[in-house]
Amino acid sequence: MIPFLHLTPGEDRPAIDQAIRRVLDRGWFILGPELEGFEAEFAQATASRHAVGVGNGTDALAIALRAIGVGTGDEVITSPLSAAYTAMAIVMAGARPVFADIDPIRLTLDPQAVAAAITARTAALMPVHLYGQPADMAAFAPLAERHGLAIVEDCCQAHLATCAGRPVGSFGAGGGYSFYPTKNLGALGDAGALTTNDEQVARRARQLRNGGQSERYRHDETGVNSRLDEIQAAILRERLKGLEHATSRRRALAARYRALLAETDAVAMPPLVDEGHVYHLFPVLAEDRQALQQHLRERGIETLVHYPIPIPRQAAFQTMDVAQCPVADRICSQVVSLPLYPTLDSAAVETVAQAVLSYKTARLRR
């Protein structure tokens, strides 16, 4: 059996045990020195001036939007192909998500579709760096500047990714990150952070995450209760040390997949558009996804789908105007993710690739 993911701590288990013990011995569990240490270290890793730890990636995006003044009556343009939490963060900030179609090559927001979706109510853009592939920020940055719009980047799948050599999260007001256990930098529970180069945005984000308090028991605004706890911060500090190596490993495994599957038409692979790709996932496209998944399952290979339903087709967003996103509709009907994670054995990649290659032969026989 080749599982889609392997989340049990491995070589880092002793360091994680020691980090947890450090917090337990100190007896300080919320807004303490581990969080401060992680915020400083993660800011440095992402080439940001500030990082603000929060409860999860959704809160990171919502708080970032609120911290820059996005709220009721505003619209935020984002991608229909993402986890639904991207759009939920916009709703949590009091704004309305507007969906623009995706680029069929990058599978991220299409700049031309975004330009056509801008209205007088548009306050911000939220590009999603999907699967670890950076969105076309070289197009979005001047577009936002031309229309006077803010940019908040969804970096939840893009830890250490770069776009044209520049770190994601640095193209606008800030970025939101998730440390959900499956992420490239994963905690052992829910956790998130937002990054920014704007001191005022960082200050307001810290206030918003802690109930809107400017000082203890003084609530200047209605914030939220979303704080990255000390145990998760301590774990993330240890795992951050190995993130660069883990990212290199992901890229090496992805390159091997690309080499092995380059000559087949059994599946299509989204091309490598930017060398800053960090391969949170390795998606391929199959016209008969269920048949491919069944073929792989019979050979002991687990796959998942990211994502089967475009966000504007979700029932939670049906009360809004239904966005026409035909490219996203097609991709959601075809995309399937193959196993890829740093501890995956290279031989397993060979096995998965050979199983995908054999799918075409099996399909012709039917």
Q: Which domains does the chain have, with CATH numbers?
A: 13-240 (3.40.640.10), 243-365 (3.90.1150.10)
One pLDDT digit (tens) per residue for the chain, 366 residues: 999 999 999 999 999 999 999 999 999 999 999 999 999 999 999 999 999 999 999 999 999 999 999 999 999 999 999 999 999 999 999 999 999 999 999 999 999 999 999 999 999 999 999 999 999 999 999 999 999 999 999 999 999 999 999 999 999 999 999 999 999 999 999 999 999 999 999 999 999 999 999 999 999 999 999 999 999 999 999 999 999 999 999 999 999 999 999 989 999 999 999 999 999 999 999 999 999 999 999 999 999 999 999 999 999 998 776 678 999 999 999 999 999 999 999 999 999 999 999 997 766 566
The pLDDT tens digits of the residues spanning 268-304 come to 999 999 999 999 999 999 999 999 999 999 999 999 9
Residue 128 in 3-state DSSP? strand
Whole-Å CA distances, 72 to 44, 66, 223, 229: 33, 10, 15, 30
pLDDT of residue 366: 61
Residues paired with residue 195 on neighbouring β-strands, in sequence order: 51, 175
- Which distant-in-sequence residues (6+ apart) come within 8 Å of 316 by Cβ? 84, 88
pLDDT of residue 195: 98
Whole-Å CA distances, 351 to 37, 125, 225, 345: 41, 41, 46, 10
Token look-up 């558009």 returns 273
Query: Could you give the CA distance from residue 50 to residue 60 in angstroms, rounded to a whole number?
Result: 13
The alpha carbon torsion through 219, 224, 228, 230 (nearest 10 deg) reads 50
pLDDT of residue 318: 81
β-pairing, 192-196 with 174-178? antiparallel
pTM, whole model, 2 decimals? 0.97
pLDDT of residue 365: 62
In 3D, which of 256, 272, 280 has the Cα closest to residue 353? Answer: 256
Residues paired with residue 109 on neighbouring β-strands, in sequence order: 102
Angle, in degrees to the nearest 10, between helices 243-261 and 346-365: 30
Q: What angle do CA 232, 192, 14 make, to 5 degrees?
A: 25
pLDDT of residue 361: 73
